[in-house]
Amino acid sequence: MATELLTPPRKSNLFLPELVYFEPDSLDYPKGKKIYEWAQAQDLPIRMTTSHNRITNLPGDSELEKYRIAKRTLVVGVKKTLKFEQSKPSAEYAIPIATGCMAHCHYCYLQTTLGAKPYIRVYVNMDDITGAAEKYIQEREPEITRFEAACTSDPLGLEHITGSLSDLIRFMAEQPLGRLRFVSKFHHVEPLLDLPHNGHTRVRFSVNADYVIKNFEPATSGFSERIEAAGKMARAGYPVGFIVAPIIWFDGWEEGYAELFRRLKAELPADAEKQLTFELIQHRFTKTAKRVIEQRYPKTKLEMDEAKRKYKWGKYGQGKYVYPDEQANALREFITEQIFEKFPSSSIDYFT
Ligand code: SF4
């Protein structure tokens, strides 16, 4: 079996699907029409489907090839259920604009949560979605309501196709009590830099040691690209944060993470620091995730040896394997020190 099917190469250029499906009612919306014209202009194969649930015949000779192609298949539809999921602790609600992702991070939790539907869905009825958000904001007045746009996807990687993040940023700029946040492993921030955001959107970049990005995050933007994008967003006045995840113990981890914080310090403008937040998440896996990862990325170097981990019971059934206390403490102490040394006015939201 060809290795490139198992671990796609790093391609941080803009995502181009191999196949695009449209649900017919999506073409009743300007965004649906625009995406249709874009797909035609790119000369992409276009198919119609009455529902994404009917997409069962994706091309591919093996399960792995089908998976790879599904991740490069775009499905354009209308979001019918406008009941938002909760998104604790970083926001009150998940705001649904897309599901699925074209990248191939070996550890990605979408592999288990999206199950047999790894294709990328984007929604075109943004007025309905922002209308629902407005109601959620009103319900919580006078409290602020935060919405997370990246719970089920990496929307920045799709922005050149949909423009939906820009819609949300503009919408939230006008909401005195609404805030938006999203996280990304991509660097394509140009469309967002000149938007009126009113400081109401916080962007967090998911960053890591270069070793982790190179070995476990194929088809995302590289180490330097993400850090430079964070600098651009901070200079455009957006509140910026970083999710360092998954924090991985590897030979040379201290130097790898020290280099990350050195580069962040060099790139970020000094006035970004007081709004800077860090979220720190050590690598963990469940038995189910391990099984899926070994099928999809059989050559992964991701260490998932239960015997080397500590079992942490889960609230709802399945527990997780995290690093034993000694390793977790060493990681936490080292990274915390780095952050406070380089960014003394920033805050660490959590280490988990
Ligand atoms: Fe998953 Fe994020 Fe990687 Fe996409 S970029 S595969 S959503 S971890």
For the stretch 273-287, pLDDT in tens is 989 999 999 999 999
Residue 63 burial by Cβ neighbours in a 10 Å radius (0-12, 13-18, 19+): exposed
Q: What percent of the chain has pLDDT over 90?
A: 86
pTM of the model: 0.94
Q: Is the pLDDT of residue 218 over 70?
A: yes
User: Taking residues 254-272, what's their average pLDDT?
Assistant: 97
Q: Is the pLDDT of residue 294 over 90?
A: yes
pLDDT tens per residue, range 138-169: 999 999 999 999 999 999 999 999 999 999 99
**pLDDT for residue 343:** 97
Q: How many domains does the chain have?
A: 1
pLDDT interval class at 10 (50, 70, 90): low
SS3 2: coil
- 105 CA → ligand 1 middle, Å: 6
pLDDT tens per residue, range 25-54: 999 999 999 999 999 999 999 999 988 777
Closest CA to 297 of 221, 218, 210: 218
- 219 CA → ligand 1 middle, Å: 9
Strand partners, 73: 19
Closest CA to 98 of 137, 125, 59, 65: 125
Please give the number of the atom of ligand 1 that sits closest to the Cα of 104: 6
**pLDDT for residue 7:** 52
Among 119, 220, 279, 300, name the best residue to mutate to test ligand 1's pocket (greatest count of ligand atoms within 8 A of Cβ): 220
- 285 CA → ligand 1 middle, Å: 15
Over the range 97-109, which residues count as b (16 or more CB within 10 Å of their CB) and which as e?
bbbbbbbbbbbbe
DSSP state of 147: E
Q: What is the CATH number of the domain that holds 201?
A: 3.80.30.30
Q: Which domain holds residue 27?
A: 2-7+15-351
**Cα distance between residue 106 and residue 313, in whole Å:** 23
Distance from the Cα of residue 172 to its chain's centroid:
20
Q: In angstroms, what CA-CA distances link 271 with 107, 137, 267?
A: 34, 30, 12
Q: Is the pLDDT of residue 2 over 90?
A: no
Asked if the peptide bond before residue 246 counts as cis, ω within 30 degrees of 0, the response is yes
DSSP of 215-260: HH-TTS--HHHHHHHHHHHHHTT--EEEEEEEE---TTHHHHHHHH
- 223 CA → ligand 1 middle, Å: 15
User: Taking residues 81-97, what's their average pLDDT?
Assistant: 95
**Cα distance between residue 160 and residue 191, in whole Å:** 8
CB atoms within 10 A of CB 314: 10
Residues framing ligand 1 (Cβ under 6 A): 101, 103, 105, 108, 110, 154, 185, 220
User: Taking residues 200-219, what's their average pLDDT?
Assistant: 98
User: Taking residues 48-65, what's their average pLDDT?
Assistant: 81
Residue with CA nearest ligand 1 atom 3: 105
